[in-house]
Structure 1
Amino acid sequence: MNAADNTENTPDTRTAIMEATYAALCKHGYANLTMQAIADEFDKTKAVLHYHYDTKEDLLVAFLDYLLDRFLDTLDIETIDDPEERLVALVDALLLGTHEPRSETDHWEYHTALLDIRAQAPHNDAFREQLTTNYRHIEATAAAIIEDGIERGVFREVDPERAATWLFATINGARLHQVTLDESDVAEDVRAAIVEEWLDWLRRPNGE
């Protein structure tokens, strides 16, 4: 491997590729996304992309894995002691992107682009496998918060995994509606329903 190859194999280069993929996917969508479109978003050639990833599919699978890592890195909810506050922070991050430095417009452009990838999952085993991995990891995070709340007497006795599944399905539905319907307040309305009504039900009643 020569010196140029070493330069192209650094963590910074990989991060730059992922960020370029993010930008190109938001700009072009899945159908019009090409390796050249991704290369156009950063200061490397298309050859650098093919050095790391043989196909667009390989790159997008790596991108989905990168999204999970970045989400976990920027979430920063472990310092929140109260289980209810921690759960609300997770909801806000998943639904509104409050953990991200990006703008609200960028947040929904990203979810529109991600919807394109998710639409391929029924016919693409690699996409489906990575999306499932991401889903299970985040669902487990929610379940762990709920279980902690139960053990500390904050939440009522429920099945943590089932409650987390319901919560994540609700959030996913809200994101889908936000990017596919002419309704700009869906995410905020669902967030309010979760925080003001579902969490009120989840709290352990006094004296229970």
Structure 2
Amino acid sequence: MDSSRMSEETIDGIMDATYRALCEHGYAELTMQDIAAKSTKSKGTLHYHFDGKQELLEAFLEHLLERFEERTETVPGETPAERLHAFVDELLSSADDDSATAFRTAMLEIKAQSPYDEAYQERLAAFDQRLRDRIAGFVADGVAAGEFRDDVDPEATGEFLVTVFHGAQTRAAAVDRSPERTKEYVHAYIDEALCADDGGSGGANGDDTDDSAAIGEPEGSR
């Protein structure tokens, strides 16, 4: 890819066109001409900057993930719990939001190819790790502040919540099921399983029977 001669406006325009063409045509049927049709640039111009569809989609995935991270770089909230709740709201945006729906559709198309494409897989793995680190950071801050229980494992909780996020996003795109109910459950999980208000007596129901839910570990994984 030769992006040195492209302005940021040109790059954004091509990425936006790729976004819309991918959502409309799907990965398998997508062509450079489809992308050009959604852009102000010709097919020849696209080929001048990108060797082909594969390279363009690799750049698009990087662009998509960067924009998502920019959107979630700063989340509101005065406490770690409030910031974690706000981050969950960003991760599980309502299906009624057209941009969120398009994001899920585009990501599902790319994810479906990642087992066969090392470049996609590497980028998605890096994004996954950044999400886990971000959530683990909020949780660690909450534990340090005494807001979350001191037996909560930030890394395991991050792993658990990112798994929930990916599942909810895929389900929303694949079978048109809004992630709204999942978001409600995650908010309840934060308040009931992570917070120290119950004196650290146990899981979401306040008992001692199973601490795995409180630390984000599925039972049987320990």
- Aligned-pair CA distance for 1:97: 6.1
Distance 1:8 1:92, change over 3 A: same
Give me the whole-angstrom Cα distance separating, in 2, the residues matched to 1:97 and 1:77: 19
1:29 pairs with one of 19, 26, 30: 26
- Aligned-pair CA distance for 1:112: 2.1
1:56 pairs with one of 50, 53, 57: 53
C-alpha RMSD over aligned residues: 2.3
Normalised by the length of structure 2, the TM-score is 0.81
1:167 pairs with one of 161, 165, 170: 161
Give me the whole-angstrom Cα distance separating, in 1, the residues matched to 2:31 and 2:129: 29
1:109 pairs with one of 102, 120, 123: 102
Matched to 2:43, the amino acid is K
Distance 1:159 1:180, change over 3 A: same
Give me the whole-angstrom Cα distance separating, in 2, the residues matched to 1:79 and 1:116: 31
User: Is 1:152 equivalent to 2:142 in the alignment?
Assistant: no
Give me the whole-angstrom Cα distance separating, in 1, the residues matched to 2:4 and 2:64: 23
Unaligned runs of 5+ in 1: none
Number of residues of Structure 1 aligned to a counterpart in Structure 2: 198
- 1:193 alignment counterpart: 185
Instruction: Please state which structure has a larger fraction of its residues in helix.
Output: 1
Give the share of equivalent positions with the same residue, in percent: 37
Asked if the contact 1:77/1:89 (under 8 Å) is kept, the reply is no
Superposed CA offset, 1:80-113 (max 9, x none)? 3311111111111111169xxxx62342233123
Q: How does 1:30-179 map to 2 (within 5 A)?
A: 30-96=27-93, 104-157=97-150, 158-179=152-173
Give me the whole-angstrom Cα distance separating, in 2, the residues matched to 1:106 and 1:6: 26
SS of 1:30 mapped into structure 2: helix
Superposed CA offset, 1:4-59 (max 9, x none)? x9995211111111111111111111111111111111111112222222121111
SS of 1:133 mapped into structure 2: helix
Give me the whole-angstrom Cα distance separating, in 2, the residues matched to 1:61 and 1:199: 39
- Aligned-pair CA distance for 1:159: 1.9
Distance 1:6 1:67, change over 3 A: closer
- Aligned-pair CA distance for 1:115: 0.9
- Aligned-pair CA distance for 1:143: 1.1
Distance 1:65 1:176, change over 3 A: same
- Aligned-pair CA distance for 1:145: 1.0
Matched to 1:129, the amino acid is E
Which stretch shows the higher mean deviation, 127-136 or 76-85? 76-85
- Aligned-pair CA distance for 1:200: 1.5
1:9 pairs with one of 6, 10, 14: 6
Give me the whole-angstrom Cα distance separating, in 2, the residues matched to 1:153 and 1:177: 35
